Each structure stands twice: as structure tokens, then as C-alpha cells.
Amino acid sequence: MFLTLTVRNCEIGELGTVLTAMNAAFKRMEKRKELSPVQGWIRATEVTRGKDGSAHPHFHCLLMVQPSWFKREELR
């Protein structure tokens, strides 16, 4: 499963603080029981620039799950 997690654009000077918060949030998310079926993942951090010069940080995640994951009622 491919997942993109994003936040609002920030000033370049705030990028370090925003990335630290995003990493902490990702670690909290990893521990949630809802994600226990995830067998593994690869995550990439990307930062693009807005037309106004702001930073747009986001994570691209590739999650390895069993096909049965997509049959779960709460995902419908």
C-alpha cells in the first residue's frame, strides 16, 4: 500500500522543527494497534518548495500488508 503523509507548508527556518514533529508523530502512529498487520515499511522524506519559497515536507510510505487488509470492514 502506498501512503503519503503531509503537513501544511512552513517557512524554511521552521523546517527542522516541523520534521522533528513529523518524525515523532510517525513513531506514535507505528505503535497503534490498527497498524499491527503491517509487516514492514519503507519511508522517504521529501521536501518540495512552494511558489512563495515555503517548504512542503511530506512522507512517502510503502507499507507491506497481506491482501486481506483490503477486506477489512473499517477500510470501506
For residue range 20-75, list pLDDT tens digits in order: 999 999 999 999 998 888 999 999 999 999 999 999 999 999 999 988 877 767 66
Supply the pLDDT for residue 29. Answer: 94
Supply the pLDDT for residue 52. Answer: 96
The span from the CA of 44 to the CA of 20, in Å, is: 14
Locate the domains of the chain by residue range: 2-75
Supply the pLDDT for residue 70. Answer: 78
Supply the pLDDT for residue 39. Answer: 94
